[in-house]
Amino acid sequence: MVVNQKFLGGAILFGFALGLALVPQQAASKLAQDATSPQSAADEAVPAFHAQAPREELPATMDPELFTDPVVQHAYAVAARIKKVLYQQPCYCHCDRSQGHKSLLDCFASKHGSGCGTCIYEDFYAFEQSGKGKSAAQIRAGIVKGEWKSVDATKYKQPLPAK
C-alpha cells in the first residue's frame, strides 16, 4: 500500500511537472505563429510621436564623442542635425512604453539610442530621406511602413573626422 501511494504520488508529481514544461512551449509556439503571420508595422499601434514641428526649443542630443563605436557616433551626429525631423517620428523599439519617450528624438537626447539598432536605423533613414527633400510626415509614413529596415549602415562605419 505504501509503495502504491509513493508510486501514485510520483506519477502525479511527474504529470504536473510535465504539464508545466509543456505550457511555455505552447505559449512560445503561439508567439512564433504570431511573429510569422503576415502583419506589417503599420498594423500595430504607431508609437508616440509629435504630429507637428516643435514650438519650443528642443533638447540637445548627446555628444557623439562620448561613444566609441563609429556607427553610434554617426547616429548621434546625424540626430543633432535633424532634431526637428526626429521630434516628429515614432520609434519602433517601443521606448515610448518602456522609457516614456515621446518621439525618436528622445532616444538621442539620452544614451538609449547608443544601444538600440532600431533607433539608429530609423535615425539614418530619417536623415537620408530628409536629404532627399522628404517632409517629416513623409518620413514618418516610411518609418511606419518599415522602410527604415533597408538602411545600409555600412557607410556609417568610418570614424567621424577629427574636429
| Residue 162 located in a structural domain | no
Q: Are residues 32 and 69 in the same domain?
A: no
> How far is Cα 135 from Cα 126, in angstroms, rounded to an integer?
10
> How far is Cα 120 from Cα 148, in angstroms, rounded to an integer?
9
DSSP classification of residue 134: -
The model's pLDDT over 85-142, given as tens digits with 9 standing for 90+, comes to 999 999 998 888 888 889 999 999 999 999 999 999 999 999 999 999 999 999 999 9
Q: Are residues 24 and 90 in the same domain?
A: no
| Residue 50 located in a structural domain | no
> How far is Cα 147 from Cα 139, in angstroms, rounded to an integer?
9
Reported pTM: 0.71
Among residues 4, 117, 103, the alpha carbon closest in space to that of 58 is found at: 103
Query: What type of residue sits at position 16?
Result: F
Q: Are 111 and 102 in contact (CB under 8 A)?
A: no
Looking at the structure of the chain, the number of domains it has is: 2
| Residue 70 located in a structural domain | yes
The model's pLDDT over 26-60, given as tens digits with 9 standing for 90+, comes to 333 333 333 333 334 445 689 888 898 888 899 99
Q: Are residues 73 and 147 in the same domain?
A: yes
| Residue 101 located in a structural domain | yes
Boundaries of domain holding 19: 2-37
| Residue 54 located in a structural domain | no
